[in-house]
Amino acid sequence: MDPSPNILQSSNPGPFYDTSPENLSAARTEFATVLDSGLIRDDEEIRRAHLGTRLSQASPSHTANLVLYPCSTEQVSRISRICWERCIPLTAYSGGTGLCGSLAATRGGVCIDFSKMNKISNLHHSDMDITAQPVVGWMQLNAELAKNGLFFPPDPAPGACIGGMVSFDLLLSHCISVFSQLRLDIPGFPL
């Protein structure tokens, strides 16, 4: 057998996702047990607003079917479980400033917009340990840290958020030696 990448790729069926209208409708009913109805959106304008950033737009065919706005880690966990059980793909959206195209929902599904999760829960000055939600911006974080004589060294862009920095691995690649520990309140990122 020829081990060329083309042969291997053609024999790999890839992941299975079920974004059928029936499955998405049933999932929406389940999401309604987790979120208020106003936090579950399927209107075209909102879906297209989550298509990318002004500097990195995805194809209109890469639009999520639903956009959800959780307010807590518990809600994100429950949403993720519903999607996992129903084979619905997830796309995370935090600051919307990325340049890498990771916001594209290439398989449709659900976009989780973390915009309501922007709090710094804990800051332990003695060991430089912090717990932050995904939409805490690095500028917001630095303003809080400055009160304690600390700073957060990565400088990706003024609108960058911790969630996006984690997804692009900017944190660990730029400051692993600076912080002894960084604990983020971001489901799916076991740091």
Domain boundary among 113, 131, 164: 113
Are 137 and 105 in a shared domain? no
2 lies in a domain?
no
Give the rounded distance of the alpha carbon of 23 from its chain centre: 22
pLDDT of residue 85: 96
Per-residue pLDDT tens over the stretch 23-68: 999 999 999 999 999 999 999 888 888 776 666 666 667 788 999 9
Model pTM score: 0.75
Domain extent, residue 125, equals 120-184
Structure tokens, 93: 């959206």
Per-residue pLDDT tens over the stretch 103-143: 677 788 999 999 999 898 888 878 778 888 888 888 888 88
Can you tell me the distance from the alpha carbon of 14 to that of 22, in angstroms, rounded to the nearest whole number?
Answer: 22
- The answer to whether the beta carbons of residues 135 and 114 sit under 8 Å apart is yes
pLDDT of residue 66: 95
Q: Which residues pair with 66 in a beta bridge?
A: 110
CATH code for the domain in which residue 67 is found: 3.30.43.10
Domain boundary among 113, 135, 152: 113
pLDDT of residue 169: 61
Domain boundary among 113, 133, 148: 113
Are 105 and 167 in a shared domain? no
pLDDT of residue 47: 84
Per-residue pLDDT tens over the stretch 144-154: 888 888 888 77
Structure tokens, 135: 């939409």
Per-residue pLDDT tens over the stretch 86-96: 999 998 887 77
Ranking 4-13, 75-84, 172-181 by mean pLDDT, the lowest is 172-181
pLDDT of residue 176: 39
Task: Answer yes or no: is pLDDT of 189 > 50.
Answer: no
pLDDT of residue 79: 97
Residue 80: CB atoms within 10 Å: 17
Per-residue pLDDT tens over the stretch 152-184: 877 677 778 877 777 666 545 544 334 434 444
Task: Answer yes or no: is pLDDT of 80 > 70.
Answer: yes
Cα–Cα distances in Å, from 172 out to 58, 66, 167?
27, 31, 10
